[in-house]
Amino acid sequence: MLTRDYPSSIRVLFAKNPPDAFDNCGHFPTLQPTVDCPFPGWSVEIFSSLMQALQIKIEPLVFENSPGNVDWGSLQPNNSWSGALGFLQNGTVDAICLQFQRTTNRERDFDFTYPITFIQAEIIVPEVDGSYTLSLLDVFKPFTGEAWLFFGISLIVCLLIFIFVSHVERLIADGKKKDLDLWETTWGILAFQMYQPSPSFQLVSDGGKILYTIFGVVHILLLMGLYQSYLITALLQPGDPYPFRNLEQMSAMIKSKEYQLLESDGGNWVYDEIRTSPIFSSLRQALEKNPAVMLTSDGELVPTAQKGKYVFFSQIDACTSYQLQDYCGFLTVMEDLPQVTSHFLFQKNSSFVEAVNQQIILQQSFIMRTYTKYFDSGFNTGTKHIICPASTIDDITPLALRNCAGIFWLLFIEEVERHLERGKEFLAKAQFADALNSYHAAIELDPTNYQTFYRRATVYLAMGKSKSALPDLDKVVQLKPDFTAARIQRGNVLLKQGELDAAQQDFDSVLSVEPNNNEVAAKVEHINELRQMVSNGEHFLENGEFQEAEHYLSKAIETMMWDGSLYKMRGECYKHLGETQKAIADLRNVAKLFSDSTDVYLDVSKLYYSIGDVEESLNQIRECLKLDADHKKCKDFYKGVKKLAKMREDLNKLVSKQDWMGCLEKGQSILKAETKVPSIQFDVFRQTCKCNLNAGHVREAIQECSEVLKNQDENDVEVLCDRGEAHILNEDWDAAIADFQKALKANEEHKKAREGLQKAERLKKQAGKRDYYKILGVRRNANKREIMKAYRKLAQQWHPDNFQDDEEKKKAQDKFINIAAAKEVLTDEEKRRQFDQGIDPLDPQAQQGGGGHWGHHQGFQHQGFPHGFNPFGDGGGSFKFHFG
């Protein structure tokens, strides 16, 4: 019998209103949120799905708060936590349905689940109007230093060649040697190019004309290229609306007091946690000279920023993104900003976390679909937002030497930038698929832009596709080896994949240029700890100490969550520890992480088979054959599982058709086909219990139901109800009442259990009164033919005319009346139904006692007993199953 290591209910803290809050979302807490309330609707839906999969009942606790002012919780001087975290710390709740980032202090006092999402931090800033001065300066933006050098040298070379040609031509024309007048010659060349004849520049020889033509064309092309570039740049970029492009530039502007940072008492949880990162060192220095402005709530951030030169931090899943749709003139900056993970929190050493983590891994696709559903839909519902005028916010990337082919190259660059900007907009709205398409298009046009690869890797990570992100991060490091953010990101991915040596190389590279980066240094130290954990896990597994091995492997998996080898080893531990469901979950993770997983699918299929889940076993073995249709072991196992699955399907169809004898025959066939797996046998007993009950084989029904309840789920409501009905047929009222009460305790809304209990209690109360079944000597599930047969026999036996003695005649009359009454009730469908419900239809007092107030109960549908059923015995033709 499988056991669970966690309780069947959980106390969960919900916000009374969404933490980020719109006015039309005041209906929380609810476990059925709608997409028009994404805060915290999507978190609630995911948390509910995790609990539903684990069959855990949620007991909600309402957190009193006003919209936009949730106190997430901060650490107090006495080491206690305020707000939501305070409820968790003091044991009021077991978990919080809000998402938190992992920090050292929180990790000390609470248990974190595996990441739910990767959140992109962003800076919100009002756009600026481009000035005429900046517009003129923008004209000189389009070329790199290399390109400017090329243009300058080319023009000088052309001019020198023209001067040389001019000097030679004058010598030829005058026929005598003459000193070179540089300024006069240069002026003559310029005048000639403007179609103004000049005696200082004349072409008389064919060679001079040819040279001038060649270099004249080159000269004109160079000048035209510059002119076109200036013109297109001025038209397309009248002024950059971004006051800054990255964190470093923003920090400099805060330090010079051109801008101020806004913060909220409510606490911007992204900024609170990433501000200690080394990349924020310049910002911390700037805030020492120009402190942040503190606001009372997150809802004030956008309106305040609109008034003046303010900036604030947010994240792509915050309600701020929704608020910004009611304002024009705001931009988001994400360059240099890291991603952070969000988690659900549980009490320290919670028994729920391990099971929840397994479900998070199994439900990754659902989590991402839910996230996208809410933010795609939630941001486009409710009030109608302002339609802002389009603005040109394209960044101008300096043109390299290869880009100087004229206007067509400029239009090409403009197309690349358009894709990049659209990708950034989609990413800010969590529309990951659209963002990915934009970055794909940008990379196809320009495969040398490291920022594009980095942004696409960011999207892949946000979608949980680390394998796809890694090649992009490799490309970023190849194109720009000194880009430490990419090395840190790649190191984090490699660390989660279990590539400890490669991850350490990336972190060591970062430390070589940032020796004071404490965060990266801590990761290097943690890598050494992970090596020891994995080594210990392998050692204990080899020595058969599975409990110890599982402990170390689980600790390693907390960090190396994408390392399939760890799940495979831990799955072996769970198999030996008898925790089959956990072993299945781990091996399914292995199948997701490894491309060649035929043997893994075979193992998973066998495990499902061992717990009686034949249908899922069949699904898994088919996955094996999809990868390798000729896999011998999978083919052999598939044949047996498919055959048994078909037999079980036929059994279920017979039950649906109420073919009780066919059901019993099919059950016998399955038991003969599978003699080694108890779970499959007990599942057959679960069905044949019902079939024997309806076929009138009460003793066998009770025996089989009891075996199922004893060896599988003792609270199986359907089996308890079937056994309760069998006890009623056996007239064991107390046993029937006990079964129905237990069923109601497991599911208080179960209609069949409630009606069965009422019926058993009435029948027990009725036991001292007339029992029409006993009068005729038939069982309670006898059909009409058997009732009439018994009636004729008894009526003939006890007819008063058969007796001469007055006393015997009187006794016979009483019996004959009861026999007639029994026949009247049991052959009338409605009266028999009432009697089966504990109401005597021939008793006026019983009728007045509320005969139509009980719930309607559908009696069994009988098909007769073709094997010689004896109405005065236990019945014939039953199937006897042997347990042992």
| pLDDT one-digit tens code per residue, 656-692 | 999 999 999 999 999 999 888 999 999 999 999 999 9
pLDDT tens column, 598-647: 999 999 999 999 989 999 999 999 999 999 999 999 999 999 999 999 99
Give buried/exposed letters for 566-595 (b at 16+ CB in 10 A, else e).
Answer: bbbbbbbbbbeeebbbbbbbbbbbbbbbee
Q: Provide the whole-model pTM.
A: 0.53
Question: Would you say residue 766 has pLDDT above 70?
Answer: yes
Burial class from Cβ neighbours inside 10 Å (0-12, 13-18, 19+) for residue 141 reads: middle
Q: Which of 54-63, 109-118, 323-332, 470-479 has the lowest mean pLDDT?
A: 323-332
State mean pLDDT over 812-816: 83
Burial class from Cβ neighbours inside 10 Å (0-12, 13-18, 19+) for residue 525 reads: exposed
Question: Would you say residue 364 has pLDDT above 90?
Answer: no
Helix, strand or coil, per DSSP, at residue 15: strand
Question: Would you say residue 493 has pLDDT above 50?
Answer: yes
Longest pairwise C-alpha distance within the chain:
174
State mean pLDDT over 157-173: 73
pLDDT-derived band at 840, boundaries 50, 70, 90: confident
CB 138 within 8 A of CB 394: no
Amino acid identity of residue 792, one-letter, is R
Range list of H helices, 696-801: 698-711, 717-729, 733-746, 751-766, 772-776, 784-797
Question: Would you say residue 396 has pLDDT above 60?
Answer: no
pLDDT-derived band at 862, boundaries 50, 70, 90: very low
CB 144 within 8 A of CB 396: no
Amino acid identity of residue 739, one-letter, is D
Residues 55, 56, 59, 63: what is their CA dihedral angle, to the nearest 10 degrees?
Answer: -110
pLDDT tens column, 452-475: 898 899 888 888 788 888 999 999
Residues 6+ apart with CB under 8 A from 369: none
pLDDT tens column, 509-525: 999 988 888 889 999 99
Q: What is the torsional sign of CA 16, 18, 21, 22?
A: negative
Helix, strand or coil, per DSSP, at residue 363: coil
Count of C-beta atoms within a 10 Å radius of residue 833 = 16
Share of the chain above pLDDT 90, in %: 27
Residues 6+ apart with CB under 8 A from 644: 614, 670, 673, 674, 680
Element (H, E) at 33: none
Distance from C-alpha of 768 to C-alpha of 762, rounded to nearest angstrom: 11
* Model pLDDT, residue 382: 43
Question: Would you say residue 170 has pLDDT above 50?
Answer: yes
CB 325 within 8 A of CB 386: yes
Supply 295's token pair: 């606001």
State mean pLDDT over 766-786: 82
Q: Does 555 or 339 have the greater pLDDT score?
A: 555
Distance from C-alpha of 490 to C-alpha of 487, rounded to nearest angstrom: 5
Q: Does 138 or 654 have the greater pLDDT score?
A: 654
* Model pLDDT, residue 527: 94
Residues 169, 174, 180, 185: what is their CA dihedral angle, to the nearest 10 degrees?
Answer: -60
For the chain, the average pLDDT equals: 78
Residues 6+ apart with CB under 8 A from 805: none
Q: Which of 104-118, 477-491, 671-685 has the lowest mean pLDDT?
A: 104-118
Which parts of 77-153 are beta strand (E)? 95-100, 110-112, 117-126
CB 137 within 8 A of CB 212: no
Query: Measuring CA to CA, which residue among 322, 134, 114, 167 is closest to residue 240?
Result: 134
* Model pLDDT, residue 603: 93
Q: Does 171 or 203 have the greater pLDDT score?
A: 171
Supply 605's token pair: 């299929």
**In the chain, what are the domain boundaries?**
134-236
Residues 383, 389, 392, 393: what is their CA dihedral angle, to the nearest 10 degrees?
Answer: -30
Range list of H helices, 237-381: 247-255, 269-274, 281-289, 301-307, 319-323, 353-362, 364-378
